[in-house]
Amino acid sequence: MTSSTATITLSLPITDRARAMAFYRDAFAFHLVGTLEEDGIPEPLQFRLDSQTLLALIPADGLGWVLGDRPLAPPGVSECLLGMTLATEAEVNNLVERVRHAGSDVITAPRTEFWGYTALCLDPDGHAWQLTASPTT
């Protein structure tokens, strides 16, 4: 069990810091954390998701180094599915449109499944996100 003061950091490998920052800022409206460097990007590149969770976007070669030079999944291979539950179908549709507008791919258009209204999209580095609104009762 984690303490109530623990911070969880989800780290994803990226190829382009500026592109990744713009995507998560513009599409997901995540809150950027840290002091901006000369290039306008904080180091490390992190977004606050909630009071205990950070999303860190790390250049792939740096993440490989941190992992002891273990190979990362090749582009186009998803090793995990990131999920976001939204309150309504309209919020799912709006986020899907922001993802498209930010220049990334929607791999499954919004549709109703037995678990809820859902869509699958990719960030610019191919990390898969499932956006879901729970079914109304």
Pick the more confident residue, 77 or 40.
Answer: 40
Look at residue 132 in the predicted model and tell me its pLDDT.
Answer: 97
Give me the number of domains the chain comprises: 2
pLDDT digits (tens, 9 = 90+) for 83-103: 999 999 999 999 999 999 998
**100 and 57 co-located in one domain:** no
**18 and 61 co-located in one domain:** yes
pLDDT digits (tens, 9 = 90+) for 2-59: 567 899 999 999 999 999 999 999 999 999 999 999 999 999 999 999 999 999 999 9
Task: Please name the residues in contact with 28: beta carbons below 8 A apart, sequence gap of 6 or more.
Answer: 47, 84, 95, 98
Look at residue 1 in the predicted model and tell me its pLDDT.
Answer: 55
**62 and 85 co-located in one domain:** no
Look at residue 70 in the predicted model and tell me its pLDDT.
Answer: 79
Confidence of residue 118 (pLDDT cuts 50, 70, 90): very high
**Which CATH number fits the domain that encloses residue 94?**
3.10.180.10
Mean pLDDT over 62-87 rounds to 85
Q: What is residue 50's three-state secondary structure?
A: strand
**126 and 94 co-located in one domain:** yes
The Cα 60–Cα 12 span in angstroms is 8
Look at residue 61 in the predicted model and tell me its pLDDT.
Answer: 87
CB 133 within 8 A of CB 93: no
